[in-house]
Structure 1
Amino acid sequence: MPTPRETILAALHAMLQTLPATALRGDVLPERVPAGGLLILRDGEPGEPEVTLSPLRYHYQHRAEIEAVVQGADRDADFDTLTASIGAVLAADRTLGGLCDWVEAEAPRPIDLAVEGAATLKAAVIPVVLHYASADPLT
């Protein structure tokens, strides 16, 4: 049986897969960026939890990361569209179907990356904070 952390990350990945971009989890950047863009979900860090007693609960603000990458002549517009679609899909279900207390993304810091012999990439890491509680730090 998967842990709450894994269930939440899998639900976030499934949510990203509804977007027109290719959504991967924990993979390396492929040689080619798909036309619709590329999203790579990184599991991130759960951080130090706040602990409450009776009942014992560990409250996390887990920081996952989404790497967003686009390539092509319209990369600025494509990147804007991709990041806006991530924001919209997160805003549509801030609890991931009740798995989390709250999900919120932070603003990306985009950079342009030159690629020898190919169109420039526009990429950013988008931190996503997952607020959830667990009965055990290992689950």
Structure 2
Amino acid sequence: MPTKHESITLALVAALSPHAARVMREQELPEYCPDEGLINVMPQDAEEEDQRLGTGVREFARVYELEVLVQDADETARAVALDAALAAAAGLLHGQLLGGLIDYLRLEAPQETEDVPMDGAASLKGAVLPVTVFYETPDNPMESD
């Protein structure tokens, strides 16, 4: 059985699966962007926020960077497609508790919006959508649920 950390990551990827873009986890960006775009879920290190004395419960926050890429030959259409892809991802995650695994999910403003260095780069645009999840674990955060 996976740890709580891994369970949350799996649930986040699953919550994004209805998105039109291809959803990947911790992958090197492919040589070519699929027509439907892609989202690469990149978990960062979990940070302990607090510990409840006497209970053995530890509170964590973990940032996931969602690398969102879209493709279109027209610059304006590319910007609109990126905005729509980011909004759709945010819509899928807004209010999520990932099956009760987390206490809160915070969406941040997109960052690093730029053209992407890939084959066909003139037609690619991407941004990073930071998502922070807040959750509790037992005293040993690597224990399985």
- Which residue matches 1:120? 123
Name the TM-score, length of structure 2 as normaliser. Answer: 0.87
Task: Give the alignment of 1:16-55 within 5 angstroms.
Answer: 16-55=16-55
Could you list the per-position Cα deviations for residues 5-58 of structure 1 after superposition, in whole angstroms to 9, with x for gaps in the alignment? 100100000111110000000111001111111100012110133111231111
Q: 2:9 corresponds to which residue? A: 9
CA shift at 1:113, angstroms?
3.2
Structure 1 residue runs of 5 or longer lacking an equivalent are none
d(CA) in 2 for partners of 1:85, 1:39: 11
Counterpart in the other structure of 2:100: 98
1:74-100: CA deviation from partner (whole Å, max 9, x where unpaired): 211110110000111111x42112111
Q: What TM-score results when the alignment is normalised by the length of structure 1?
A: 0.91
Aligned position for 1:67: 67
Structure 2 CA distance for partners of 1:117 and 1:79, relative to 1, 3 Å: closer
Q: Per-residue CA shift, 1:116-135, capped at 9, x if unaligned?
A: 65533211111110100000
Tell me if the contact between 2:105 and 2:132 (Cα under 8 Å) persists in the aligned partners. yes
Kindly tell me the number of residue pairs found equivalent between the two proteins.
138
Indicate the SS of the match to 1:82: helix
Which 4+ stretches in 1 moved above 4 angstroms? 114-118
Q: Which has the higher contact order (CA 8 A, sep 6+)?
A: 2
For structure 2, the 5+ residue unaligned runs are: none
1:137 aligns with 2:141: yes
Aligned-residue CA RMSD (Å): 1.6
The letter for the 2-side match of 1:2 is P
DSSP-derived class of the 2:32 partner: coil
One-letter identity of the residue aligned with 2:31: E
Question: How far is 1:115 from its partner?
Answer: 4.9
